[in-house]
Amino acid sequence: MARDASADHAGHRERLRKRFLRAGGDALADYELLELLLFMALPRRDAKPLAKRLIKHFGGFADVIGASVKQLREVDGAGDAVITAIKTVEAASHRALRERVLGKPVLSSWQALLDYCKVSMQHNPTEQFRILFLDRRNVLIADEIQQSGTVDHTPVYPREVVRRALELGASAVILVHNHRRRLASYAKNRLFSMICEEANLA
């Protein structure tokens, strides 16, 4: 009986893999795509129940991937191997998007830049102030988080923005701030004016 269950389990995994390779990720439900990922972390366990629990707990595939390590540990069955697999996917997606924009002219890769900022910041539970530094050709030369704050506030220091831009030899900066209701936006006019004032004094 145990052998039959094991064979059925292995057969299910093989069928899911083949369906993914044949039709791609769009052919799979969220829990199936997550289950496929969990195969690597749970080589001898049925991954489907945990995949479904994770989706139910967080609401969707992207929400599972974006959850923090602490949040993932709250789900029964999510141990270190599972959490490592999930967070590896998140790190890989961030790196892939980053490589699409770093070292490239911003104006010719604007949508890629927006996608990168969105993926990098949308699941962060606290507000962040991010600075994208550009050279004179509008090529992105650096991407840095200057400050992280609380759930509804992050401190910003205009002098530090200007100091860092001078250190990097940047000719322009893009300021990105994740709000709870707006994923990314330019800094408000007052902050922009203060940074301009600091730049004029530098």
pLDDT tens figures, 35-63? 999 999 998 889 999 999 999 999 999 99
Pair (30, 72) in one structural domain: yes
Work out how many domains the chain is built from and give that number.
2
Pair (87, 138) in one structural domain: no
Mean pLDDT of 74-97: 93
> Could you list the residue range(s) of the whole structural domain that residue 118 is in?
105-201
- Does some domain include residue 99? no
Distances (CA, A) of 157 to 9, 82, 129, 190, 191: 56, 39, 10, 12, 9
Pair (185, 143) in one structural domain: yes
Identify the pLDDT of residue 97. Answer: 81
Mean pLDDT of 106-121: 78
The answer to whether 64 and 88 have CB atoms below 8 angstroms apart is no
Q: In what order do the strands lie in the sheet with 172-177?
A: 140-148, 128-134, 172-177
- Does some domain include residue 42? yes
- Does some domain include residue 100? no
- Does some domain include residue 58? yes
Identify the pLDDT of residue 61. Answer: 95
Identify the pLDDT of residue 2. Answer: 47
Pair (71, 6) in one structural domain: yes
**Domain termination residue (choose one: 94, 123, 138):** 94
Portion of the chain with pLDDT greater than 90, in percent: 37
Q: What is the pLDDT of residues 156-186, one digit of tens each?
A: 777 888 888 889 999 888 888 776 554 444 4
**Domain termination residue (choose one: 46, 73, 94):** 94
- Does some domain include residue 23? yes
Sign of CA dihedral 62, 66, 71, 77: positive
Has residue 198 got a pLDDT over 60?
A: no
CA distance 30 to 51: 9
